[in-house]
Structure 1
């Protein structure tokens, strides 16, 4: 309920008074500014919503130095990656970290004989997605065992068939091969 809504509850004789208007209008404006400030302060307490002041503090707390020219969103993602990097490096940790960074459900598949593990993405709808693969790779490198190689599952012919994508459809949807190479495939979630 806003400050002006409260004024509507006053008796008519007070609402019509010039003294009430003279005091209530500036007070309503001030209370609205304070409310917006409180809402903004609340956002600073979370790394994924913090703005410049809060993000600078998050970077200090996590020991991160922002890359030259990094946007607020890139800086937020780097802090979130650092926060997710704690704990025992197992498939569950990597899945939760990747989900925090991409917003998609993730499944880790371990290939023991090849000393690798890979990630595949799952969402509400199948299709091609763009993620910040460099940030994801850098973040996983922070926590993975050094002897294992990390692979993000590339798009396969099976993915193209599952998406019912023809050559003509690819040419229509992706102007160049370079656009297509930056994408990953999101599989539908299984219940």
Structure 2
């Protein structure tokens, strides 16, 4: 995957996701009073879902880019070893094969990326501050200010979990969830920008 293709795929995904979030807001803001609580909850779920899936998608796309465009500042070895060690500790037996798996003679960056891009690594959890930090700082290793999104991630996840688990949620009108709208769009934009900066040709 070349830079232009990475940019195209990130932008295409970003565009439709932002449109869907905007549409969810429009429907909630223009709903009849009896429908407003349900549409606001749907809007909350849409925001959460797109935060979750876009960060994962950006991770997969960037790793796909790295597979064919190695970066000197990407710590392939340490990240691969962390994931491989976990797998071997859980599944492997002691002995020579264990040591060889953790310390291979030949480090092939394409193979390392294939391990790091494993579905279980990227898709093994739902959106939260810690998952965002994990994917941004460890998997992608991009320059992104996770800390500024701590409160956003925590409150959005709390409300999403209440709705998803059938608990009583206090979201019943537009004012209960509008505060997440702009930060959601900003998060998606900033993730895209950070990935493209990291991938930009020198």
TM class, shorter-length: under 0.3
TM-score, reference length from structure 2:
0.24
Which of the pair is proportionally richer in helix? 2
Higher relative contact order (CA 8 A, sep 6+): 2
Which of the pair is proportionally richer in strand? 1
TM-score, reference length from structure 1:
0.25
